[in-house]
Structure 1
Amino acid sequence: MSRLLTDDEVSRQLADLPGWSREGDALVAGIEAPDFPAAIRLVTAAADEAEQMNHHPDIDIRWRTTRWRLTTHDAGGLTQLDIELAHRISTAARAEGAVLDG
């Protein structure tokens, strides 16, 4: 099991994740894709990354807007897995021309 990050560790690492914020024990982001097919490609790319990591996000998709929530359930909060997955999702979003809110 991954180690829980301290509040300071989360804050420091969020500085390198524009568009992501902390809500309780989760990292959240809204990402707007140029169109619906791009949003689906983003979800697919993120799913591939998540499967490789064996660490799966909660995803909500509404037309071209996606909302992401990352937490490490078995650790009861935020771990380095969440930070890494957020970076991978951000990279996939940029590749699709999507914009992170915030």
Structure 2
Amino acid sequence: MSSRTLLTEAEIATALAELPHWRRAGIGDSISRTAEAADFPAAIRVVVAVAEQAERLDHHPDIDIRWRTLTFVLSTHSAGGLTSLDFQLAALIDQAFDGV
């Protein structure tokens, strides 16, 4: 299966169960995580770490920065919904938060 193939509802549920910080609004085509860093510089370090991984994967999140609060939204727009790339990047975003 291609990393840009839409996941089934069962596959999405399984993937979300492995990523407890991530949420899906209803049966939407995206997942999101909001978290706070210790301070603004730490939040920017998270964003930089995520940017490097996003470039490597050629898969880029929507990012909202509000002082030290970051919200990441993931969806594979070219596929029209959620793919394994979204969950792969979600795990890497979790690692970026763990690293600051």
TM category, shorter = over 0.9
Deviation at 1:22, TM superposition (A): 1.0
Structure 1's consecutive aligned runs of 4 or more residues displaced over 2 angstroms after TM superposition are none
Percent identity, please.
53
Amino acid at match of 1:77: G
Which structure has more strand as a fraction of its residues? 1
Structure 1 residue ranges without an equivalent (≥5) = 97-102
TM-score by length of 2: 0.93
Amino acid at match of 1:65: T
What is the rounded CA distance, in whole Å, between the counterparts of 2:44 and 2:17 in structure 1? 27
Structure 2 residue ranges without an equivalent (≥5) = none
When the two structures are aligned, how many residues end up with a matched partner? 96
What is the rounded CA distance, in whole Å, between the counterparts of 1:8 and 1:38 in structure 2? 35
TM-score by length of 1: 0.91
Aligned to 2:59: 55
Write the mapping of 1:1-102 to structure 2, written as runs, cut at 5 A.
2-23=4-25, 24-96=28-100
